[in-house]
Copies of this chain bind each other. A is one copy, B any other.
Amino acid sequence: MPDPKPVHTQIPPSQQASRFARAREVQSRALLEDYVELIGDLIAAHGEARVADLAERMGVAHPTATKTVARLKREGLATARPYRGVFLTDEGARLADRVRSRHRTVVDLLIALGVPPEHAELDAEGIEHHVSRRTLQAFEDFLVRGQARSES
């Protein structure tokens, strides 16, 4: 495969800039999305979400989890009473559901394309946040098509 062309420089700089801006924007939301999803999971599984559990499952020290929870509160996605658990606001819960569903769709797509399941999970944890509504719809349509084929 010889000389890949620099397609990037063939578009207006401002348009390219807006693509990178979008990626940065998404990135700043990614951590919040993972946290609300995890908080929702923990509440569903154990009735509560403790900071220590968040930290353990995120693989960070607990002050880091505390700080992120503070940001979730600032953004109106979670509430927390000192020395008690963390809870999702309605908005946080809705976001958690969307994120969880999207996560599954991304994993399912990767698996459908032949990626080993555990590998799919690894990649999906980062990919998911950059998948827009439109792309998600395309993933779902593809999965439905594949399902229809295997049923016939």
Please count how many residues in chain A sit with their CB below 8 Å of the partner chain's CB atoms.
61
Q: How many copies does the complex hold?
A: 2
Question: What's the nearest-Cβ distance from chain B to residue A77, in Å?
Answer: 17
- Which residues of A (45-96) have their CB < 8 Å from a CB of B? 45-46, 53, 56-59
Contacts of A132 in B (CB 8 A): 119, 122-123
Contact A114 B138 (CB under 8 A): yes
Contacts of A27 in B (CB 8 A): 27, 30, 126
Chain A interface, DSSP helix/strand/loop, else mixed: helix
A95 to B141: give the CA distance in the assembly, Å: 34
Contacts of A101 in B (CB 8 A): 1, 4
Partner of A114, one of B13, B38, B57, B141: B141
Q: Which residue of B lies closest to A116 (CB)?
A: B134
Q: Which residue of B lies closest to A132 (CB)?
A: B123
Partner of A123, one of B40, B97, B123, B130: B130
